Structure 1
Amino acid sequence: MEISPALLALVGLLLALWTAAAVWVMLRASGREQKFASTRKSALRMARMLEESPAVPLLVRADGRIEAPDRFARWLGLLKVPEFLSELTGADGNGLSEEQVEELTSKVRRTQKTAKPFRMSLAVPGSERALTLSGTLADPAVSPNGAALVWVFDYSESQTELSQLREEAARAKDDFGALVGLIEAAPMPMWFRGGDMKLRLVNRAYVEAVGAQSADEVVTKQVELVETVGGRSASQVAQQAADRRQPIERIVSATINEARRTIRVTDLPLVGEGIAGYAVDIEEMEEQAREFRAFREAQRSMLDQLSIGVAQFDAQHRMTFANQPFHRVFALPPGVVNDRTTFEHMLLIAREAGRIPEVRDFPSWRNELVNWFQRDEPHEEAWPLSDSTHLRVVAQPLPDGGLVMIAEDRTEQLALSATRDTLLRTRTATFDSLFEALAVFAPDGHLELWNRSFPGAWGLEPEVVDGHPQAEDLLEAIAGNLADPGAIDVVGNTIRSATLDRKKRTARVELADGRTLDLEGVPLPDGNGLLTVLDVTASQQAEEALRERNRALEEADAVMTRFLANMSYEFRTPLTSIGGFAELLSSGIAGELSPQAVEYVQAISLSVGKLTEQVENVLDLSQSEAGLMPLNTAKIELLPFITQVVRAEEKRIVDGGLTLDLKGGAGKVVTADAQQLRRAIANLLDNAISATPQGGRIQVELGKSRGETKIVISDNGRGMNQHELARALEGIRMAADGKGIERRHGLGIPLARQLIEAHDGKLEIVSRPSSGTTATITLP
């Protein structure tokens, strides 16, 4: 059978349609399967998203049935989600409380009836979980017939944070209130500026400082506490602090409570906008600082006056002060203080100058000295130097970590101490070698020091005084050795006078063995009393002998006085008789005399006159030396008196070819015996005439000096050397064989001196060979 082409085409077309239909069916089935898988996957994803979401849906149907994920049951502490809303209260105490379930049921029913949403918060009993429920009427696509959809949120962490935030907010509020109260009650002015640098807030101290009525008045009028300084106002300084974002602190003067005070002002930028400021009154601190600076300057000035070296170091071991003695002790160069020389460097400088002790390991020794800064107590050392200098070094740590170093040169003190020890030993040796017995008593009466002669002088054993006994015990031991035991009070009074009364006192006691002791109590400068005991037994005996001899001398002097009186009569009477008979013979009473007899009579008269003069001189000199010369004093005008004396020697002056000058003003008066003063001046004038050659010159000058009258007799004669002048002053003396009188230059000068001294005057004679002699009489 032959198949037609049309049929074949139709069959092919049918096969093609069938194939296409099969392919379409297959493709559609595959699409549906993919869409189902995608829908399932989306459902699973949505379910997972709901499971992981912070909110859990709770669907409450009209009959009270509920639908919710298991997570909702876990939030409530239930094993599974209950079937009805009323069953959210667990039988074992889990879940919500009955009151919470009733409140939730009431809100859900209201939403189902009125479609009004609600919101409530629940705290799950028995746990820290907090839930927020937000309910609305469910969409019909979700659940028809008026179901309510409640979204449950777990905000436990948020609630904790919120509670913490509430607590922090409350605490911050309290702190802010306390801070505001503190700022308001602060004694220092405080303020706050806004971003425009204008005052927004001030405290009460600020208001009082500027003298305003209230803080509002200050803010309104923008009353500034600090004045413009250096062309910058307070707001400009605050703006500068805001620009730098750094605090600015400055010290200025301001008027606070109508008084100028020094304040420290601080402008402090805040975290946000605005500048806080406060002012601290440092007037008292500045005053204390000024006083401290003045005190420090005064202290350092005083330390400069000390003889002890003092230096100060700060906590960094730098020298801040050193007085001049410290520079000298350690041979420091100028400028060590200004250069802030360290303690270690100072020791190095002193080592180079040889002003520290010789040490083997200098770095270790220096490190030991650096530890002085960490000590709690002062430290003292003795430094012997190589030049025999001894230093006493004291290190005084300071509370601020510094150090005060004191260096005292004790070389002289040690030398004085050695000298003192030597003097004490010398004193002890001297005391022991003295002939006198010595003892030193303290003011409290005990025996402090004595020599070896002291116990023996009182007849005591040395053991009695070895224990430094009290004066009462010592006097009790001495009383038994006295001739009169009651005389012990004399010894006690002598000791008491020297120690307590501070008066010198002497006494004498006799011992039972016949010895006599002289006591003398002398107060010493150190408050002690010195008792000197001297055995005067021998001297007393010698004194008695001297008294006997003195009585014999007094009797001999009386005999001599009577002898001189008798001799005066015996000498003058024969000479007067001889002179009288010679005058009678010369007058011719015995007849006319031959020329040769007249010469003999004249010679007799001349010899009698000279002998009378010599006898008068000898008697006057003897009486003057014996102190028996009588003086009949009267006021004498000196110039006429001297003129008469010169006139009496006029003939001799003219015959000798001499010139005499008398100088002196009238009115000079002295009180003297005219006869004796005339004889003294006449003898001196006679010596001047005799010693002056022809053509010579004699000068008599009267004067007055310092209330004394002076009579000066000078000549330009041959003069005398020292030996001749000494012999002239001696006049006469016993001959070398002791049997006669050796005459030298006559009795004129010695007699004149005796007569002048009898008038309480003085005679001075100056003579040089070939230059003449000058005799000066000084009368009161």
Structure 2
Amino acid sequence: MDSSPALLAVIGLLLALWTAGAVWVMLRASGREQRSIASRKTAQRLSRLIEEGPAIPLLVRADGRIEAPDRLARWIGLEKVPEYLSELAGGEGRGLTEAQIDTLTRNVRRTQKTAKPFRMAINVSPASGKSLALQGSLADPAVSPGGSALVWVFDFSDSQAELTQLREEAARAREDFGALVGLIEAAPMPMWFRGADMQLRLVNQAYVAAVGAESADQVVADQVELVETVNGRTAAEVAQQAADRRQPIERILSATIERARRTIRVTDLPLMGEGIAGYAVDIEEMEEQAREFRAFREAQRSMLDQLSIGVAQFDAGHRMTFANQPFHRVFSLPPGVVNERTSFGQMLLIARENGRIPEVRDFPAWRNELTEWFQRDEPHEEAWPLSDSTHLRIVAQPLPDGGLVMIAEDRTEQLALSATRDTLLRTRTATFDNLFEALAVFAPDGHLELWNRGFPGAWGIDPEVLDGHPQAEDLLQAISRNLSDPASVSQLNQVIRAATLDRKKSNGRIELADGRTLDFTGVPLPDGNGMLTVLDVTASQQAEVALRERNRALEEADAVMTRFLANMSYEFRTPLTSIGGFAELLTSGIAGELSPQATEYAQAISLSVGKLTEQVENVLDLSQSEAGLMPLRKSTFTLLPFLTKIVRKEEQRIHDGELTLDLKGDAEKSVTADPHQLRRAISQLLDNAINGTPRGGRIAIDIGRKRDETRIVISDNGRGMSQHELARALEGIRMSSDGKGIERRHGLGIPLARQLIEAHGGTLEIRSRKNSGTTATITLP
């Protein structure tokens, strides 16, 4: 019982020690677990860092086994990392190539044996498209004992692409620089380069040739300048100014190039931080062309001012740069429109105010449509009818520089002429178709051009034969079938040929089979064609035969009339003379005293015999005059006394009619004529004047001379005659319409007077108006 406390103490102590040991063990186990967790986390973090790192480790053991992350398999285009190094070639365009694996294997073995590191770069198959850099060294024994090799694989695909691009760009830059240097050297214009000190550093061969130097080195060494000092400023000073401004300077000046003065355009171009480049362009020919162009433009505009067609030019800004005088007149423009650079729209507005454009409902819209002429690719043409019946032809010609040439032609007269021409053509066609003659026009080559409706009927051919404008040979062949003698068609052929080719007029006559006779004539026309006229002369030929027979009959009748007049002159006058003589004897009382009534009868017989004798003489003289048998016994006598005697014979009648007669003229004027016949003619006219003048009237006889002619004017203020009555009076007696009798018209006085005066080689002109009197003018040579 005494040992139990001690035992319990011992047991308690043992339990305490066991508990303490258990706690220590537990605490140690817990620490190890935490360190293990931390190690795992560290390993995972390091593994993740390796996975995310720019390089992938590849461990190659001595027996050829490899260890690497799966990312390496993706880089080289494999599904997973193989077990041995030689299996990195996947085939079919995947993995590394055999040559790359052999090179890598040799490098790895050399490193394993000699511990010498290596570097290499490979381009993986197109399946991955990677460019890899490999850096190999002997692995640390802590990493892998036994002589393993550790290869770090880097992906430098982007760097490689950039490096490749830079290399290509550098190669292109070198090529471009070489080409540029060659271009500058071969350039036909002088080019140079100045350094920052404005001294020449480089010149091309054109510069050397321009300054007449031996080489470019000599130019640079002697600083030979192409451009001379202008206005106190040297070429270097101008280049320095361009460098200060950092802007190019361009100027035009004269310089000596290859011992000749030329106009050049010099440009100094600053290169940032490099210097000044310069070049000179020879513009001598351009300036000469510009001068020639200005002279040509002035000559052209001067010529356009002389045209009758209006011409105006507008620039790309739609501003008027030129307008000739006809253009001003056509659109009624004021003189200053060109100097004021009037726009196209303003020009149309001015023309609208002056009524020189067509009437349009919406003028702004219409003007905008015309403005589109500037954008057209082809010329545009319009017709403008104006309110004053003027017709304008407008042509808009776009220019390559965006401008426009506007041409305005007044075609009013041309349209009027065209209308007149159309009317004339229609009139000609209507005239041709309604002529009695048959017409046809032949061209010089022989084909039928024009014909009227009577042409096919005249020849008896079908009108459809002419529709195709046949040749003359074909037409003549169709005509020959209707001729009485087909061979006679050659006459027609010769007439057509003479009119078209020989340009001569000719004619002929031909007979048709139906008995008709045609006359045809070929006439050359001014346009080179020939016209054939055909006339049916069958009736006229028959009438000609009848006229010949009638003419023979008339000749026989004329001979009979001549004999009749010769006999009647005696046969009429002898009995009348006897009757008159016996009446006078009875009146004188030779046969004894007559009673007063018998005496009156005898006097009446004498008066009637005198009138009958006068009428018979008038009839005979008129008949002889018409037959050309009137005898004239001309003599020269003074005219005024001659007329005085005629007036004295009518003095009693004038006095009885209470008329006034005024006779005036030169007393010395004379005339050569038959006094008897001229007296009868003037007596007839005076008798008509006395008979036609009422009481209290006035008769005037005036003798005058005009040039080499003698004029006798007999005028009165009597009743006068109308034109119809005067025409009947001039006809007097004429043959009846049946030719078998005499038709009396008015009287024998005026016709007899005219016949007598015309027999003297003179003329009789009678003017008369109703109730205004009559004037008879006798003109004698």
> Could you state the TM-score of these two structures normalised by the residue count of structure 2?
0.55
Alignment-mate amino acid for residue 510 of structure 2: V
Q: Where do residues 260-339 of structure 1 align in structure 2 (5 Å cutoff)?
A: 288=292, 291-303=295-307, 305-306=308-309, 309-323=310-324, 337-339=338-340
Identity %: 65
Helix, strand or coil at the partner of 1:506: strand
Q: Distance between the aligned counterparts of 1:660 and 1:415, measured in 2?
A: 61
Helix, strand or coil at the partner of 2:306: helix
State the match for 1:702 in structure 2. 703
State the match for 1:762 in structure 2. 764
Q: Distance between the aligned counterparts of 1:693 and 1:390, measured in 2?
A: 66
Q: Deviations over 1:306-356 (max 9, x none)?
A: 1xx533233444332345666788898886544545567778999997678
State the match for 2:168 in structure 1. none
Helix, strand or coil at the partner of 1:776: strand
State the match for 2:663 in structure 1. 662
Q: Which moved more, 1:707-716 or 1:525-534?
A: 707-716
Q: Where do residues 22-421 of structure 1 align in structure 2 (5 Å cutoff)?
A: 175=203, 179=207, 182-183=210-211, 288=292, 291-303=295-307, 305-306=308-309, 309-323=310-324, 337-341=338-342, 369-372=373-376, 375=377, 378-380=378-380, 394-406=395-407
Report the CA distance shift for 1:495/1:173 in structure 2 as closer, same or farther (over 3 A).
same
State the match for 1:572 in structure 2. 573
Q: Contact conserved, 1:708 with 1:779, CA < 8 A, in 2? A: yes
Residue 702 (structure 1) shift: 0.4
Report the CA distance shift for 1:356/1:183 in structure 2 as closer, same or farther (over 3 A).
farther
Report the CA distance shift for 1:725/1:237 in structure 2 as closer, same or farther (over 3 A).
farther
Alignment-mate amino acid for residue 763 of structure 2: G
Report the CA distance shift for 1:569/1:407 in structure 2 as closer, same or farther (over 3 A).
same
State the match for 1:24 in structure 2. none
Alignment-mate amino acid for residue 640 of structure 2: L
Q: Contact conserved, 1:380 with 1:392, CA < 8 A, in 2? A: no
Residue 751 (structure 1) shift: 2.6
Alignment-mate amino acid for residue 313 of structure 1: F
Residue 616 (structure 1) shift: 1.0
Q: Distance between the aligned counterparts of 1:467 and 1:419, measured in 2?
A: 29
State the match for 2:520 in structure 1. 519
Helix, strand or coil at the partner of 1:558: helix
Report the CA distance shift for 1:492/1:728 in structure 2 as closer, same or farther (over 3 A).
closer
Q: Contact conserved, 1:491 with 1:507, CA < 8 A, in 2? A: yes
Report the CA distance shift for 1:385/1:586 in structure 2 as closer, same or farther (over 3 A).
closer
Q: Distance between the aligned counterparts of 1:692 and 1:669, measured in 2?
A: 29
State the match for 1:193 in structure 2. none
Helix, strand or coil at the partner of 2:301: helix
- Asked if residue 443 in structure 1 is aligned to residue 444 in structure 2, the reply is yes
Q: Contact conserved, 1:731 with 1:743, CA < 8 A, in 2? A: yes
Helix, strand or coil at the partner of 2:632: coil
Residue 663 (structure 1) shift: 1.5
Alignment-mate amino acid for residue 292 of structure 1: F
State the match for 2:680 in structure 1. 679
State the match for 2:623 in structure 1. 622
Q: Distance between the aligned counterparts of 2:282 and 2:430, measured in 1?
A: 79
Helix, strand or coil at the partner of 1:520: strand
State the match for 1:552 in structure 2. 553
Q: Distance between the aligned counterparts of 1:730 and 1:446, measured in 2?
A: 54
Report the CA distance shift for 1:248/1:569 in structure 2 as closer, same or farther (over 3 A).
same
Helix, strand or coil at the partner of 2:531: strand
Report the CA distance shift for 1:778/1:285 in structure 2 as closer, same or farther (over 3 A).
same
Alignment-mate amino acid for residue 544 of structure 2: E
Alignment-mate amino acid for residue 311 of structure 1: A
Helix, strand or coil at the partner of 1:670: strand
Q: Distance between the aligned counterparts of 2:352 and 2:418, measured in 1?
A: 28
State the match for 1:29 in structure 2. none
Q: Contact conserved, 1:358 with 1:385, CA < 8 A, in 2? A: no
Report the CA distance shift for 1:702/1:488 in structure 2 as closer, same or farther (over 3 A).
same
Q: Distance between the aligned counterparts of 2:660 and 2:366, measured in 1?
A: 97
Q: Distance between the aligned counterparts of 1:429 and 1:545, measured in 2?
A: 34
Report the CA distance shift for 1:534/1:686 in structure 2 as closer, same or farther (over 3 A).
closer
Q: Contact conserved, 1:459 with 1:481, CA < 8 A, in 2? A: yes
Q: Distance between the aligned counterparts of 1:669 and 1:750, measured in 2?
A: 25
Alignment-mate amino acid for residue 297 of structure 1: R
Q: Which moved more, 1:536-545 or 1:359-368?
A: 359-368
Report the CA distance shift for 1:749/1:341 in structure 2 as closer, same or farther (over 3 A).
closer
Helix, strand or coil at the partner of 1:620: helix
Q: Contact conserved, 1:358 with 1:386, CA < 8 A, in 2? A: no
Q: Contact conserved, 2:721 with 2:774, CA < 8 A, in 1? A: no
Q: Contact conserved, 2:328 with 2:334, CA < 8 A, in 1? A: yes
- Asked if residue 779 in structure 1 is aligned to residue 780 in structure 2, the reply is yes
Q: Deviations over 1:491-520 (max 9, x none)?
A: 123212332344443322112332111212
Q: Deviations over 1:390-443 (max 9, x none)?
A: 986655444545333445677987898788778767866765665543322101
Alignment-mate amino acid for residue 301 of structure 2: E
Q: Contact conserved, 1:356 with 1:385, CA < 8 A, in 2? A: no
Unaligned residue ranges in structure 1 (runs of 5+): 1-163, 186-199, 207-223, 227-233
Report the CA distance shift for 1:663/1:301 in structure 2 as closer, same or farther (over 3 A).
same
> Could you state the TM-score of these two structures normalised by the residue count of structure 1?
0.55
Helix, strand or coil at the partner of 2:507: strand
Q: Contact conserved, 2:764 with 2:776, CA < 8 A, in 1? A: no
Q: Contact conserved, 1:241 with 1:268, CA < 8 A, in 2? A: no
Q: Contact conserved, 2:320 with 2:344, CA < 8 A, in 1? A: yes
Report the CA distance shift for 1:568/1:404 in structure 2 as closer, same or farther (over 3 A).
same
Helix, strand or coil at the partner of 1:518: strand
Helix, strand or coil at the partner of 2:539: helix
State the match for 2:492 in structure 1. 491
Alignment-mate amino acid for residue 506 of structure 2: R
Alignment-mate amino acid for residue 305 of structure 2: S
Paired residues in the alignment total 556
Residue 761 (structure 1) shift: 1.1
State the match for 1:474 in structure 2. 475
Alignment-mate amino acid for residue 664 of structure 1: G
Residue 452 (structure 1) shift: 4.9
Q: Contact conserved, 1:767 with 1:774, CA < 8 A, in 2? A: no
Helix, strand or coil at the partner of 2:617: helix
Q: Distance between the aligned counterparts of 1:361 and 1:324, measured in 2?
A: 29
Q: Distance between the aligned counterparts of 1:392 and 1:599, measured in 2?
A: 98
Report the CA distance shift for 1:612/1:434 in structure 2 as closer, same or farther (over 3 A).
closer
- Asked if residue 457 in structure 1 is aligned to residue 458 in structure 2, the reply is yes
Report the CA distance shift for 1:176/1:545 in structure 2 as closer, same or farther (over 3 A).
closer
Residue 386 (structure 1) shift: 11
Q: Contact conserved, 2:304 with 2:311, CA < 8 A, in 1? A: no
Q: Distance between the aligned counterparts of 1:525 and 1:326, measured in 2?
A: 37
Q: Contact conserved, 1:314 with 1:403, CA < 8 A, in 2? A: yes
Alignment-mate amino acid for residue 757 of structure 1: E
Alignment-mate amino acid for residue 182 of structure 1: A
Residue 637 (structure 1) shift: 3.7
Alignment-mate amino acid for residue 539 of structure 2: A
Alignment-mate amino acid for residue 491 of structure 2: V
Residue 572 (structure 1) shift: 0.7
State the match for 2:613 in structure 1. 612
